[in-house]
Amino acid sequence: MKKILIAVLTGVLCAGYAYGQSELPLLQNARAYEGTTLNGDWNYIVDVQEEGYYDYRMNPTSSGFFRNAKPRRPEDLIEYDFDKSPTMKIPSDWNTQDDRLFFYEGTVWFKRSFLAVPITDYRTLLYFGAVNYDCHVWVNGRKAGHHIGGFTPFNLDISDLLREGENTIIVKVDNKRHAEDVPTQIFDWWNYGGITRDVMLVKVGPVYLQDYSLQLQKADAKAKDREISFSAKLNKAEAGHTVKVSIPELKLEQQLTTDAEGKVSGTLKVKAKNLQLWSPNNPKLYDVQLTLDASTIADEIGFRTIETRGKQILLNNETVFLKGISIHEEKPNGGGRANSVEDARTLLSWAKELGCNFVRLAHYPHNENMIREAERMGIMVWSEIPCYWTIAWTNPGTYDNAKQQLTDMITRDHNRANIIIWSIANETPHSDERDTFLGNLAEYARTLDSTRLISMAMEVTGASNYVNRLNDNMNKYVDVVSFNEYIGWYRDVNDAAKMSWEIPYDKPVIISEFGGGAKYGLHGPANQRWTEEFQENLYKENLAMIEKIEGLSGTTPWILKDFRSPRRVLPEIQDYYNRKGLFSDKGEKKKAFYILKQWYDSK
């Protein structure tokens, strides 16, 4: 069997065993492994008519772009050339990298080469943090995999496709919208296309820890002893492997042997007085080491509990009020997908300045830097999948797609202490079909992770005699009742003071959205749309109104920063930006920022 070592730029990495070409279940904590980044310059070809792909489907021996063919004889006809095509920095969205692609929704091909030399006993996974939306991958002209869903990671075993010397990866990315996709055709954010998150080659042994979990068990506030449950799963159902978990600072260590399914589970016991719990005031993370046979990876993990009691949310057995803000994954200065640690720090530091201890990462799973930075900064997180508005509820493929995105979101982040809520949907119109789809999804989410709260952003569309009554069949599936209300913007302007709320469920309540648009720097009377004063007044009235809601456990107003949206076409005001940000698209604070800050500071 051929063994290959890959050397890319500065890194060195090993590959080898042939396991066929396919997408594997997601590797937990991929960044902990020895790996090599494939971020950087990739050549690209814009292919409006999918010439390079249909060619492949109709005639597999012909020259589809995935072959990266070159003329061998003077008379050879090859009508593309990656190496003469422009380059784009990856990760990025193509819309902000090339002016011609600002509104483009379609196919772009990407190519990147790297060098490899022989070595033994390792496998190479090609890991993509996210590609929006539909993506096919070839390595050296052979198909490595296909993935759909624009906001979750995936990994392909490419060991068998590698060769000594130069290797070429070709990725076809298509962000066209379809009714049966998740999200569906219409949504209120920019459909940024491309390889939008990090790409890396990850070196794993033939047997590796595919997934592991460490979770603090709930206990009485006065409990003297605490338990951390530990479980792990190999990529293969093989008995007899040794798995060791240790937390040196707590002097905890446990060694277990895998069962026939390749699984282990155990409990680490610790004195409550020795354990610092993760919380916004003390975002303590412990170094954790996980050893499989002779190889060790590291993680940083925090321990906390989150639960509800009646209408309260309890973090570490204490009532917590979630002072939140909604955030899109867009760069702090202008548009474009955010991905870097710096982007995450800037956005999250704005949320901190606002007085937040919580963020709603809307409307899809954000990049891992965002979650990890928030965890370090002591910010709790609501993480969501893009079941947004009118999904094709009766289409089985749509359900499978949503379920896969939920699985990958939870798999990637279930060891992050700051994630307290998994959200399965946003503003979905009521129907029996929706209830079946989302009900199944909620139950499935609980089987994956029983240690967090489940919610979704419901909608309330109208009031009778100023009484707003929440009535959603999904109430029985969620732990926290959350809803969006746009009083003062889409409805009932000037009537917030008259409104009352009836939420007939004994569960905590989060107002997951309210807000209104303002153009930064536009001033005028408080009843004039688009002025900062209008937005400021809307915040004052809404905060006074929601304060009276029984069981209010938090809010995540819409939204931290103005963000790009194709729905927002009003010239001179919107110019393709949704203007409901408390910060402008360039990071300038609007007047409403100070209203919310004042309210949070008083909580």
**Cβ closest to ligand GCB, residue 108 vs residue 458:** 458
C-beta of 150 vs 205, nearer to ligand GCB = 150
Q: Between 405 and 578, whose beta carbon lies closer to ligand GCB?
A: 578
Please select the residue that binds ligand GCB; options are 174, 513, 536, 585, rule is CB under 6 A. Answer: 513
Structure tokens of 527?
């009843």
Distance CA 359, CA 326 (A): 6
Residue 558 touches ligand GCB, criterion: CB under 6 A: yes
Size of site (CB under 6 A) for ligand GCB:
9
State the minimum distance, in angstroms, from the CB of residue 426 to ligand GCB.
5
CA nearest 304: which of 275, 268, 344? 275
578 binds ligand GCB (CB under 6 A): yes
Specify the residue, 304 or 363, whose C-beta has the smaller distance to ligand GCB. 363
Please list every residue from 145 through 174 that binds ligand GCB, using CB under 6 A: none
52 secondary structure, DSSP code:
H
Q: Which residue is nearest to ligand GCB (CB)?
A: 188
343 binding ligand GCB? (CB under 6 A) = no
Q: How far is 141 from 57, CA to CA, in rounded Å?
A: 14
Residue 555 as a binder of ligand GCB (CB under 6 A): the answer is: no
Which residue from 578, 551, 548, 554 is spatially nearest to 564, judged by alpha carbons?
578
The token pair that represents 197 in the structure block: 């998150």
For residue 299, give every residue at least 6 positions away whose Cβ sits within 8 Å of its Cβ, in sequence order, or none.
Answer: 29, 32, 287, 288, 290, 415
Q: Where are the beta strands (DSSP E) in 58-106?
A: 87-90
Site for ligand GCB in 444-483 (CB under 6 A): none
Q: Determine, following the binding rule CB under 6 A, whether residue 542 of this chain makes contact with ligand GCB.
A: no
Q: Smallest gap, in angstroms, from Cβ of residue 261 to ligand GCB?
A: 41
CB of 293 to ligand GCB, least distance (A): 47
Q: Rounded CA gap, 477 and 456, in Å?
A: 10
> Closest separation between CB of residue 65 and ligand GCB, Å?
35
Q: Which two tokens stand for residue 107?
A: 């196919």
Q: How far is the CB of 548 from ligand GCB (least distance, A)?
A: 22
- Min dist. Cβ of residue 362 to ligand GCB (A): 6
Q: Distance (Å, rounded) from C-alpha 59 to C-alpha 164?
A: 28
Q: Which of 416, 580, 590, 591 binds ligand GCB (CB under 6 A)?
A: 580
| Closest to ligand GCB by CB, 112 or 331 | 331
- Ranges within 214-243 binding ligand GCB (CB under 6 A): none
Q: How many helices (H) and strands (E) does the chain have?
A: 7, 35
Using CA atoms, how far apart are residues 129 and 150, in angstroms rounded to an integer?
9
> According to the binding rule CB under 6 A, does residue 384 interact with ligand GCB?
no
Using the minimum distance from each CB to ligand GCB, give the nearer residue, 414 or 564: 564
Pull the structure tokens for residue 244: 């060791």
Which of 47, 188, 299, 533 is in the footprint of ligand GCB by CB under 6 A? 188
Asked whether position 484 contacts ligand GCB by CB under 6 A, the answer is: yes
> Is residue 434 part of the contact set for ligand GCB (CB under 6 A)?
no
Can you tell me the distance from the alpha carbon of 106 to that of 190, in angstroms, rounded to the nearest whole number?
14
DSSP string over 536-553: HHHHHHHHHHHTTSTTEE
Token pair listed for 245: 């978990």
Which residue's structure tokens are 């042939």?
18
Site for ligand GCB contains 427 (CB under 6 A): yes
Question: Strand (E) positions, 140-281?
Answer: 142-148, 154-157, 165-174, 199-204, 209-216, 225-234, 242-247, 252-257, 263-271
Instruction: Catalog residues that contact ligand GCB under the rule CB under 6 A.
Output: 188, 363, 426-427, 484, 513, 558, 578, 580
